Every structure is written in structure tokens, then in C-alpha cells.
Structure 1
Amino acid sequence: MKKLVRVPQSDHRDDGRPGVRGRQGLAALPPLSIYVHVPWCVHKCPYCDFNSHERTGELPEEDYLRALQADLEQALPDVWGRPVSTVFFGGGTPSLLSADAIDRIIGMLRSMLNLPPDVEITLEANPGTAEAGRFQGYAQAGVNRISLGIQSFDDDKLKRLGRIHDAAQARAAIGMAQRAVDRVNLDLMFALPQQTLAECERDVREAISFGTGHLSLYHLTLEPNTVFAKYPPRLPDDELSATMQDQAAELAESAGFERYEVSAYARPGQICQHNLNYWQFGDYLGIGPGAHSKISFQDRITRQARARMPDAWMRLVLEGEGRHVVERRELDHQDLGFEFMLNALRLKQGVEGGLFIERTGLSLMSVLPAMRRAVDRGLLEPGLERIRATAQGWRFLNDLQMEFLA
């Protein structure tokens, strides 16, 4: 699951009043996705701010699976009977888990939840942990989409990024993934330490050459509480970074990819349905250490987060009574307007205006002043039938999103 706003969360209200002031309630619940967090990795990359923890030796698979089942069992009342549209294994490095563990998790999900037979099931993998037999085992377990954290095909850049794989392993992993499943995504980063425009172009061209159905092209950013934030490397300036992004977009689109989200490019029929559900303000249940959830009810919309540290999460979840859920919050109307726009405006085509009403239970009048300000600044297209950023608004997306924060 790529990055979302993380806010303190709460599920319940004791006074029986409707959960969000001014809401009419939801006529129908949105699609539901499942996110499974695998917290371990071989090496913590210096740019990474995700909930990942270095682990040497054998993973505690049995303890993890036992805790994961308890986590899901305690969450079932909130999502009972709802069909699941997608499943996503993120991390950390999910490909550290054995194929048997993934098979057991998917079996657990199918036994407790309403998973259609053809549901999209994505697993993130690190090329440094790729094994052909393991990838085939994932596919046999039900994984039908693999997302590979390539980042670069340049050994020098991979070393600077602290990656545990080299370019040859990246190329081999792509072949393994393509032989195992029909849908493969490649994660690539640009504006890397001391990267030139020509080096960025070579990376993008090579990524395209493998013929995968999906590309995710991310700008390297210095996130707080990371090694790179404390010891910043020398990065391309803003002008060069923008040129790299424009060049990458042009190369991908000329090769038949549609840029449907700020960082996401897909060939026909290859859009990532899991991430699309996030951007369209759908629901998701996150299980595992540090996982976040957004769950809608007819009269309220809630967020929650699990304990971040793997050992603490496993201990708390096995104690029962929801002790592993350490943050809970019920969204109010200001939260809803901002969070909806934070996600939906990332989509190139935006969303229909009616989707705002459907997913938040609010009238568009609640965000009309902010929309008017954004239109006046040339950041948002006028009209209520479709909420979509202008080309200028998409380029300065943070400025556009901030209009809805007040």
C-alpha cells in the first residue's frame, strides 16, 4: 500500500448520535479492500519511512500467522458479510514469507471473508529476495499480481539507495515474476542521489522494455525520521527533478501506458484496483503490525491503527479485546472533505462529483468555498459534475490539496 495520510483514529461513540455532524448517512457502503502488513526486511533502506524492521535469521512465521488470524477475527464484526474487492500484501518485504505462509494467509482470508474467486491479490517483492520457486508458489496460493521494488537498474544508484539487490538481480526477478503471474508492476524512483537526466532516461527506458502492464514512478523524497533526513545526500534540484518527471511521463505514455494517477502508469486493463480503491475513498481493513484501516458504517466513518512494533502487536492481539488497536478516531465533516480530496485529486481524470456525496455522506456544498478558491487559482476545473485538477493543479498538487484542509 503506497503512502496515505496517517491520522489518530477512533471507532466508537458513546452517546448514540450520528458519527459525523451534518452527514445524511451513506446510502451504500463503498468497496472494501484488505491490506496485510509484513513488517520485516533484510535491510532498512535509508529513505524508507514505512513500518519495516530489520530481521536476521528465521522469521517467526508461526507466531505471525497465529496473531494475524486473531487480528482478523477481532476485526470481523466491522466488515462481516461485505465482499472484498482486493487484497494487498505490503511491507517491509512480504517476499520474505514462504509460499506456504502466503497460501495459509489467503486460505484464512477466504474462509473468514467474502472473497470472489478472481479477486486481485497483489504481493510486494524485493528483487534481493526473489526465488523462482517461491514466486511460483505465491501464484499457486492465489497471488495474481506482483509488485517489484526495482527502484533503479544502475548499480551505483542502488548502492546509494541502500538496496540489497543489484541490477542483474532486478532483471532476473522481473523474469521470474512474469513467468509466475500475468500482472507485474515495477516500482522505479527518480531524482536519485547524483542522478543525471540521461541516467534517469536509461532507467525508465529499461523498465518499459520488459513489457510489464504497470509502472510506478516515484520521486525520491527525504522523509522525516529516516537516515536520509538526518544525512541528506546530494539530490537533483527542483528544476532537474521536474524535467525528469516530465521525461519519464512522456516515455511511458509514448510506450502505451496511461498515466492515471500522479505516480501510476498502466497499460489497458492493468490499473491497480487496490490503489484505485484508496484514491476513490473506498474502505480498507489493515491487519498486521502498524496497519491502518478506514471502515464505513451507515452513520459514521472510522479510522484505526494497529501497534507498530511486531512483537508488541503479536502480544497485544493475542491478549484479545482489541488491545492491539492503539489509535481510533471517528472522522468529522472537515476530515472527510480533506481526506476525500487528498486522495481523489491524485487521479488524472478526477472523480464524478456524485462520488463525494456517495463516499462521505456530505453535500458538495460543504466543500464549495474551497472548490471556488481552487478554481479561482486555476488549480481545479470548474463545475460540480466532475472534480478534477487542472494541468496546473496536478503539477502543484500539494497547493490544491491544502485548499481543502482549512
Structure 2
Amino acid sequence: MKTIPVGEEKKRSRWQIPLALLFLAGFGALLIYAPMAVVAMFFPVFILCCLVASFGANFYKTEQRLATSQIRSLAMGLVEIRGQVIVDKPLMSPVYGKPCAGYVLIVQEGEQDDDGRWSWSRVYGEARCNDFRLRDATGEIHVIAEGIDLFGNKHPDDYESIGSSRRQGEILLSQDMDVMLIGEACERDGQTVIAQGKNPKAVFGVALTEDVENRRVLAPLWRVGAFYAAVVAMLGVGVMAMTPAHFAQLHLPGPDTYQQMESIGPVYKWLAWLYREGGFPIPFMAAFGFMLTIFVVLIWARLLLPKGMRLAVGRVLGAWMGLGMVIGGVVTLLLFVAHVDAMKQFLVWMLILLGTLVFSLFEQRKMGVAYKHFAKRVSKDTL
């Protein structure tokens, strides 16, 4: 039996809580005394976080680069195979006592707030796994489990209480489980096996095939969504850098000119009203007014358009409503709290609406594939 070091997660160090409180206090002070600094940093930090998150190897990123191989025709080196687990030397799982090739045990400690809601944090983790075999339609192969990552950061589906504020759960690598495995195909004692490679940073792990397929469907949407978000964020940086002189050049009302421009037309009159209100209505229009408008348009589209066109328009408007309402509402609320100029709030909201509309129009195929995939999974689960 081999112990896999997912590790014992100890309780937070004493310095971590004061550091988190200090960070929150600093953020609050910036928001009060230098709100524009918070806003100016928001979009660049967002782009930086997206870039950092894309670096480094992990199971799912590696899986996207590899083609799934058949066991009978494996080449030496890093490979990905799909198969059913064959348990040779079973372990007994620590929570429910079930036989398995390996398990991940997670213990969580909870805190209850004044409203009775629980929040949980992991205080202990342990993974154990014996060697096992994988079988596909072409054959079987032995897997040497030392160093394997079982299921990544997957959480148990259910937990068992072990005290007034503790619970434990387990994830099992069981007989006949359908899994995807990434590891090094190599020769051991004259036999081809899957094991951890010589490079300790190389991916060696196993995940449920269902989870991998879900990631495959969502990955194209995440990538293209990140591109749209980065473009909108960069344009947002430009909007936030605008000065009253830029407003004048573009014939837009500014904090000192909105009263004089109010008489030009109804749009300027409406923007002047937003200035008088300090931009207060914009977050609420972004979250609720936009949703209500799209809902009314959806009803009219259903009544007036033919069926084929109605479905296409409905998908676009539905995706636009969900994305525009959530992202637009959150971002404009942040800008309002930071006391950003009302015109800048409005322009950023318009950028978000334009970006989410273009995304909804041009990425319908990817969204349709994702919708059909998850709808099929839901229908299978309900049968």
C-alpha cells in the first residue's frame, strides 16, 4: 500500500488571519480615501490574474494537449488512456468501509454564523492507493500508484458527521470505475506499465471520465470568454483614464458640462439626470432594468417570429441577459461604490453589454454544445 501525499492540511497559521484582516483593512481604506486607485487597478489586476491562472501544468490542461491512446498501441512517454479500474489488492475506505483501489479522505471543520449557516474548511487530508490495472477494449495495463494524484481537487459528494463541528468524506477509486489516466508509459521488469515519470513535475493523475468530458466541453468557452473579457477590460482601462478634456472632444457630458448639454436632446437629458443622481441608478439598471427589457423582448420574439428564428434569437438574448445582467451589475456596482464619474460608469456598462452581446452572437455553437452535453447528463441522472 502506498501513501499519496495530498497531505495533512493543518489549521491556518496564526499569522494568516491577521494578514487577511490587514489586507481587508487596507482595501477598505483605499476604497474610502483613494477609490480611483482601486478602480484603476481593477482591470489590470483582472487581466494579470487571468494570465497567471493559465500558466503551469495540471491534469486538465495536459489532458487537452494529449490524444487518448489505446492500451494495445501505447507509445513510450507521457500518455492518456481511458479505461475501467480493476482492483487487485483492495483497501477498505476509512469512512464507509468499502473496498477500493484507493481513496481520498477529507476532514472538514465548520463554523456556524448567527443565522445558522455553516462554513467549512479542510483541516486534514489523506490519500492512499494500491497498484491497480486499467482495462479498455484493446487490453489491460498495470498502474504503479506511487506518486499518483487521485482526482485533483475534487470534493466528496457527501459527508459523515464526526462531531459537533466536524465532518468527513471520501472519494473512492473503485472497481469498474470509468476513469481517465495520465502518466508515463515505461518498461518495468520487461513489462509496459504506467507510472510517475522521472520528472517530478510531470502530470501523473487520474480523474473521472465524466469530469474530464465536462471540462472538455467547457474549455473552449472559457478560453474565448477570457479573450472577450481581456478585450473589454483593456477598453475599460481606457475609459477609466478619460479626462474632462476627452469628454469635451467626444462631445460627451462631463461633471462640469452636463447642465449645459442637457438641452441638446433626450439622451443628454437622461445622462444629466444620471449625473444629478450621482450615478446611483446605473448598477440597478444594469442588474434589473436590463433583465426586464430582455425579458419583454423575448416575449415579443416568441409571439412574432417564426419557430426557427425564434429559437435562435431566444438563445442569443438568453445568453446576453445572463451574462450582461450578472457581469454588468457587479462591475457597475463596484464603480458606484468607488464614486467613479457617472459617465464612466455608463460607458463601462455599455462596453460590457457590447462584449457580452458579441460573445452571445458568435459563440452560439459552443454554448449550444455545452447546453446539449449537460442536458443529456441531467436526463441520464434522472432516469
1 or 2, which has the higher helix percentage?
2
The interval holding the TM-score normalised by the smaller chain is: under 0.3
The higher radius of gyration belongs to 2
Structure 1 length-normalised TM: 0.25
Pick 1 or 2: higher relative contact order, CA cutoff 8 A, min separation 6. Answer: 1
Structure 2 length-normalised TM: 0.26
